């Protein structure tokens, strides 16, 4: 028989040019603290498929669940987070669309050209060029930047125009981490999302990948979300 899970489980959702390995610096210490963790390894083919795979991944761990989404992964948790098993949402430099919004419509109002000047569409996929890591994750060591490039997930262009299929932040408690030095999603867009959803906000002097450059800050936010979920469950 599976032991009773007293802490919420954590399901991680990655962004573009990434996979679940981008959360390694979070998963290892959280597992050591007794959290059940899993990363949704979706294919960046369509948002509907990525949301469906995330919901399937939720089924592999005990409830309640906290969804953690980075970048485009914020769109994924916004759609998948309507699942009844989800108790909280953590956004990391992430998109958080409303029902009628897409990644493209959101970012058009707060454009950042730094990263998007260093991508190319080849064979039906959007590839990050090697020099683009300076803008994507420039506060990492050169070695880590090369690793980010070497392990990039490669999205289809249609992801930028897809809707999430749900707006979980309207009904679930949310936490938001703003990367003040982000050159991929504009920090002011991140602040707009956080304010609109009424999230508890943490700002960090980070590039687009604080889970790699400032993992302790991100872990503290996840711990806060987990504590709030536990307290809410105990009070219910």
The string of pLDDT tens digits covering residues 134-164 is 999 999 999 999 999 999 999 998 887 878 7
Q: How sure is the predictor about 5, in pLDDT bands with cuts at 50, 70 and 90?
A: low
Q: Is residue 51 part of a domain?
A: yes
Return the CATH number at 157.
Answer: 3.40.50.1820
Strands (E), 7-54: 9-13, 37-40
Q: Is residue 1 part of a domain?
A: no
Q: Is residue 2 part of a domain?
A: no
Q: Structural domain of residue 112, as residue ranges?
A: 9-235
Cα–Cα distances (Å) from 116 to 30, 43, 51, 77, in that order, read 33, 21, 24, 23
Tokens of 2: 């599976």
Q: What is the mean pLDDT of residues 171-191?
A: 96
Find, among 205, 187, 92, 184, the residue nearest to 132 by Cα: 184
Question: Residue 40, SS3?
Answer: strand
The radius of gyration computed from the CA coordinates of the chain, to the nearest angstrom, equals 16
Q: How sure is the predictor about 112, in pLDDT bands with cuts at 50, 70 and 90?
A: low
pLDDT of residue 113: 61
Q: Is residue 28 part of a domain?
A: yes
Q: Is residue 4 part of a domain?
A: no
Q: Is residue 219 part of a domain?
A: yes
Residue 19 pLDDT more than 50? yes
Residue 90 pLDDT more than 90? yes
Residue 179 pLDDT more than 60? yes
Q: How many residues does the chain have?
A: 236
If residue 176 lies in a helix (H) or strand (E), which one and from where to where? Answer: strand 174-179
pLDDT of residue 3: 44
Q: Model pTM?
A: 0.95
Residues near 66 by beta carbon (within 8 Å), at least 6 away in sequence: 8, 9, 10, 11, 86, 87, 88, 89, 90, 222, 225, 226, 229
Cα–Cα distances (Å) from 178 to 91, 122, 167, in that order, read 9, 31, 20
Q: Is residue 153 part of a domain?
A: yes
Q: How sure is the predictor about 165, in pLDDT bands with cuts at 50, 70 and 90?
A: confident
Q: How sure is the predictor about 203, in pLDDT bands with cuts at 50, 70 and 90?
A: very high
Q: What is the mean pLDDT of residues 192-214?
A: 97
Q: Is residue 3 part of a domain?
A: no
pLDDT of residue 105: 81
Domains contained in the chain, number: 1
Query: How many CB atoms sit inside 10 A of residue 218's CB?
Result: 25
């Amino acid at each position: 028989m599976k032991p009773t899970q007293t802490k919420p489980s954590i399901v991680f959702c990655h962004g573009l040019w990434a996979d679940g390995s981008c959360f390694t610096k979070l998963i290892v210490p959280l597992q050591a603290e007794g959290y059940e963790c899993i990363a949704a390894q979706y294919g960046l083919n369509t948002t509907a498929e990525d949301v469906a795979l995330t919901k399937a991944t939720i089924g592999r761990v005990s409830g309640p669940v906290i969804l953690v989404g980075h970048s485009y992964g914020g769109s994924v948790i916004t759609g998948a987070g309507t699942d009844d098993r989800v108790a909280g949402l953590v956004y990391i430099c992430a998109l958080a669309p409303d029902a009628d919004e897409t990644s493209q419509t959101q970012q058009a109002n707060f454009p950042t050209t730094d990263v998007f000047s260093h991508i190319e569409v080849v064979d039906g996929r959007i590839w990050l060029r090697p020099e683009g890591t300076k803008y994507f994750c420039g506060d990492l060591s050169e070695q880590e930047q090369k690793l980010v490039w070497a392990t990039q997930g490669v999205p289809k262009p249609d992801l930028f125009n897809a809707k999430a299929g749900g707006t979980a932040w309207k009904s679930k408690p949310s936490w938001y981490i703003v990367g003040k030095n982000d050159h991929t999603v504009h920090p002011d867009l991140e602040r707009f999302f956080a304010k609109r959803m009424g999230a508890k906000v943490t700002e960090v002097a980070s590039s687009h990948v604080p889970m790699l450059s400032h993992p302790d800050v991100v872990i503290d936010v996840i711990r806060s979300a987990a504590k709030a979920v536990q307290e809410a469950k105990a009070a219910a």
